Structure 1
């Protein structure tokens, strides 16, 4: 009798374990259906890239705001543009080097990026920004304002400036990141230069954020939340306007193809090796 009971218990345990394994397989299959195997690497790349972006831009801005002016306004703008360029070449082929939730949302809006991955990218960018901001707080004590962005005039002036400069940056990004006719080896330099130029102009008015997490991270670390809505609404409005504008004027009737300069460079190398027609690079990617 005890043997029969023991056998029955073993069978029930085996069935339970099998059901649990099947459930885990289903969950895993569902996850991989929406998130490719390399998705975690992309998220980590966004954390690292955004950390370095905020660390450099806000660090330079913090030093620029000291009485000694250890870094000039021009130097801070150059640092911001250069770190964007470097990060695009470093992780652009891995995650796309968004480093900006406004950019991620804009790409998703024109179907160049999956909506279900947007929260993960935005979360990664926010983590990178907050981590960099608190790192600066430890390093730069007793500096109080760690590259925080606040309007020098009215909120409306800062909002309009943020919309325009973010539009400029995103318009250039849309050209070099989505249009095969505009893709080239200097894509990263083009985007970084646009950030540098617009930062020089916007710095004295709004701080030239162009990126919600670039403002949110330092705001949390410095406990300064004045007019923070400007730096959320402005960049998102600017990026959405830019991608829609470029999608309208680009020279093609085909849907926008998501292609980065880094993929293009690798593709061109393969085409030379395999004697693929270079007149149809998009067809090669399909």
Structure 2
């Protein structure tokens, strides 16, 4: 039975808020205590994504990312009429989560905002590739041929954690416009915000094209 749109939107709003609470919340906790480290923050993002996929995936697909929603639509696997409502729910959820994180943050905290370490051009390239690879993994493991329940969530969350671990020090490893927008606005850290809005969208569209090139086709008769 097809899930009603309001249930899907609630799941996306709640899921994106929880992503912010535990993901960017880990960055804020580490800011104050220095107990998690960069590896701990990357692990927090991976773990919360796994939990959200397993708990909300059957309701809304657990996109929790406007770029992922765009990618599924471009791949022909998501109805166009649901794209804007999904994105709106994700953005609202991100702001709610980021506001709750702000309640525990010290004055002047960046709230886990993503910022370029070595300029906008490098950050754009990194975010483009990270978003491309994440979306390609999602498309491959959620295809009917490969999908295997829990392994889907484990593979996607491992990809998020790996990309956050390696790319985080350079670009913040956002891969998610809503995840970057909310803390940037609330903290006033709007430096190069266009990178974190444009690069993930471009990356997922490139992944859709690549996924089509990778589709297995029957061999022509001899």
Q: TM-score, normalised by structure 2?
A: 0.93
Structure 1 position 181 matched with structure 2 position 150? no
Q: 1:166, 1:235 within 8 Å by CA — same for their partners in 2?
A: yes
The correspondence for 1:227, drawn from 182, 192, 201, is: 192
Stretches of structure 2 that go unaligned for 5 or more consecutive residues are: none
Does the CA contact (< 8 Å) of 2:91 and 2:182 recur in 1? Answer: yes
Cα pair distance change 1:37/1:55, threshold 3 Å:
closer
Larger radius of gyration: 1
Matches within 5 A, 1:90-239: 90-142=55-107, 144-177=109-142, 179-185=143-149, 186-239=151-204
Which of 60, 66, 89 is equivalent to 2:26? 60
Residue 222 of structure 1 and its aligned partner are, at CA, apart by 0.7
Whole-Å separation in 1 of the counterparts to 2:186 and 2:208 = 32
Q: Give the alignment's Cα RMSD to 1 decimal.
A: 1.4
In 1, are the aligned partners of 2:113 and 2:184 still within 8 Å (CA)?
yes
Q: How many residues in Structure 1 have an aligned counterpart in Structure 2?
A: 216
Output the CA distance in 1 between the equivalents of 2:96 and 2:51: 20
Matched residues in 1 for 2:61 and 2:113: separation? Answer: 26
Q: Which runs of 5+ in 1 are unaligned?
A: 1-35, 254-286
Q: For residues 72 and 248 of structure 1, do their structure 2 counterparts lie closer, same or farther at Cα, with a shift above 3 Å needed?
A: same
Query: In the TM superposition, what is the alpha-carbon distance from 1:77 to its structure 2 partner?
Result: 0.2
If asked which structure has higher relative contact order (CA below 8 Å, sep 6+), I would say 2
Counterpart-to-counterpart distance in 2, 1:60 and 1:166: 21
- CA distance in structure 1 between the partners assigned to 2:22 and 2:101 by the alignment: 9
CA distance in 1, matches of 2:206, 2:29: 33
SS in 1 for 2:170: coil
Q: What residue in structure 2 maps to residue 33 of structure 1? A: none
Q: Which moved more, 1:167-176 or 1:55-64?
A: 55-64
Q: Distance in 2 between matches of 1:184 and 1:206?
A: 32
The Cα offsets for residues 107-129 of structure 1, whole Å up to 9 and x where unpaired, read as 11121111111110000000000
What's the secondary structure of 1:204's corresponding residue? helix
Q: Deviations over 1:44-77 (max 9, x none)?
A: 00000000011111011223344x4232100000
Partner of 2:46: 81
How far has the Cα of 1:142 moved from its partner? Answer: 3.1
What TM-score, normalized to structure 1? 0.73
